[in-house]
Amino acid sequence: MGEEEASKGEDTVEEIRRMSGYGGDVIAVGGFPTSDSESDSDLAAAEIMIIWAIQGPTSFAPNTLVSQSSLELRLDACGHSLSILQSPCSLNTPGVTGSVMWDSGVVLGKFLEHSVDSKDLSLEGKKIVELGSGCGLVGCIAALLGGDVVLTDLPDRLRLLKKNIDTNLQSGNTRGSAVVQELVWGDDPDPDLIEPLPDYVLGSDVIYSEEAVHHLIQTLVQLCGDQTTIFLSGELRNDAVLEYFLESALKDFAIGRVEQTQWHPDYRSRRVVLYVLEKKSKRCLADVSSLNQSC
């Protein structure tokens, strides 16, 4: 990640950067440490204060881009009219969250499409692993954009996921490919997921409980090489869980926040945040010129 420009406000010190797998600007989480003693925990706490101050998420209604009570979500993406089947009744089953769509999934899917259209991202021929795919919208869009996508989730979530892939991606209408595979966070990934390591890892609304954070980060570390870029979108519903995630993830990853101005203009939400993560070891390697070549 290479520094491009820095802006200093009265109360916050922001650092605008580029990541190597995404051509748009991101705001470095934590900004410039103002002293050597600033820990990952200070940086995570500062990020939470900034986001809650800028976006005021709790003043806005959740789930405005989806209807979780309907059996189908229809969405136009990549020149296709997608039909994503949902199972609203399953939401009443404790622990089941992926049976319906969440705003952050729509935001991430449409962000990928918009970024490819804006030439800030290329997914053509790229190996992509999606975590906690749920109903599969994000993975479907990534495959339509040319990625070779493995959509993953818990074993009991795979049936609906497969149905949605079969409904929306027929050979002939898809530039890339999509397969569904079980992946439980914290378990060793199947060799085909990590040999070779993916170019991109995607996840929407996968940061939602403190218990899951440790295993989620373990899986991100296992899937992430020097050439891997991670996009995570999240619902701003619980500041403590997000802060815990950021603090833990900052040990291994450089993290940038993508501002809403870079999202798809019709799919923005003050209750959603979008991060790009890359392994810390490459932090100093990328510069703007190499970025222009890779994107």
Ligand X SMILES: C[S@@+](CC[C@H](N)C(=O)[O-])C[C@H]1O[C@@H](n2cnc3c(N)ncnc32)[C@H](O)[C@@H]1O
Under rule CB under 6 A, residue 251 binds ligand X: no
Candidates 39-47, 55-63, 130-138, 165-173: pick the segment binding ligand X (CB under 6 A).
130-138
CB of 12 or CB of 63, closer to ligand X: 63
| Least gap, CB of 35 to ligand X (angstroms) | 37
Considering only 205, 243, 247, 278, the residue that binds ligand X (CB under 6 A) is 205
Under rule CB under 6 A, residue 215 binds ligand X: yes
CB of 185 or CB of 200, closer to ligand X: 185
Under rule CB under 6 A, residue 254 binds ligand X: no
Candidates 30-38, 198-206, 222-230, 274-282: pick the segment binding ligand X (CB under 6 A).
198-206
Give residues with Cβ within 8 angstroms of 79, minimum separation 6. Answer: none
Under rule CB under 6 A, residue 75 binds ligand X: no
CB of 47 or CB of 130, closer to ligand X: 130
Under rule CB under 6 A, residue 243 binds ligand X: no
Under rule CB under 6 A, residue 208 binds ligand X: yes
Give CB contacts under 8 A, 24+ apart, made by 84-89.
84/135, 84/136, 84/137, 84/140, 84/164, 84/168, 85/135, 85/160, 85/163, 85/164, 85/167, 86/135, 86/160, 87/160
Under rule CB under 6 A, residue 204 binds ligand X: yes
| Least gap, CB of 230 to ligand X (angstroms) | 14
Considering only 15, 47, 113, 153, the residue that binds ligand X (CB under 6 A) is 153
CB of 120 or CB of 205, closer to ligand X: 205
* Residues 78-107 interacting with ligand X (rule: CB under 6 A): 97-98, 101-102, 104-105
- Residues that bind ligand X (rule: CB under 6 A) add up to a total of 22
Considering only 23, 30, 31, 134, the residue that binds ligand X (CB under 6 A) is 134
Under rule CB under 6 A, residue 206 binds ligand X: yes
CB of 199 or CB of 205, closer to ligand X: 205
- Which residues would be at the binding site for ligand X (CB under 6 A)? 97-98, 101-102, 104-105, 132-135, 153-154, 157, 183-185, 204-206, 208, 212, 215
